[in-house]
Amino acid sequence: MVRTKADIRATYDRIAESYAARRREPWPEVRLFIESLPRGARVLDVGAGHGRHTTVLAGRGDRAVALDFSRRLLLIGRAGEPRTGDALRIDWVGGEATKLPFRDASFDAGLCIAVLHHLPVESDRIAALMELRRVLRRRAPVFVSVWAREQPRFQSMPAALEVDANVEVPWTMPDKTVVPRFYHLFQKGELERLIIGSGLHGERFFPGAGNWFAQARSNG
């Protein structure tokens, strides 16, 4: 199975409307992390999509920046953003996780939720984490999630896929068309290894709802 970032972008542009309609509720783990941040922080949401977590930040009064490589998801998020008068509370930015278009040390905190498992090669996953470290201020916290290999639905995965653990998961469109989505499934300890390799300081690693979560911090 060979996929490129361009393939994955095209997939999310294709399913954008149905994806946004079915992915509205913020995850409780992410809410808890957000509530731990000082209010008014400048926070980057990498791979924000249509902004279901970015809107939580904006609702607290944080200076929220939503970055995604799917233009269609960003447009959906911007169109649906609650406004105060004519003012947008979220800065919607097109870009890639591996090449963030921001200056060094320009954010107080970061989110990287359900992003790394869509990057097709390990070097891109590490690059994305290194970019997050670069744009975070000294000692700034970051919260990361990835899909876990240990989910029950993947227990029957062929042994040949155990090393790379790359799969395609179907997304069913409203017209019943099935669109495959690429995932790299993370095994226990793998996210921790990438966090360390990127230069971030891992503080907490835990499983939940089919994911591995990491809370880390920039060493500055």
Residues 116/48, Cβ–Cβ less than 8 Å: no
Who contacts 51 (Cβ-Cβ below 8 Å, separation ≥6)? 45, 66, 77, 80, 81, 90, 92
Three-state secondary-structure class, residue 60: coil
**Helical axes 5-22 vs 71-80, angle rounded to 10°:** 30
Q: Which domains does the chain have, with CATH numbers?
A: 5-217 (3.40.50.150)
From 95-109, 113-127, 134-148, 163-177, the region with the lowest mean pLDDT: 163-177
pLDDT at 19 over 50: yes
160-198, pLDDT tens digit by residue? 455 578 999 999 999 999 999 999 999 999 999 999 999
The pLDDT of residue 112 = 98
Question: What's the chain's average pLDDT?
Answer: 92
Quote the pTM value.
0.93
pLDDT at 85 over 70: no
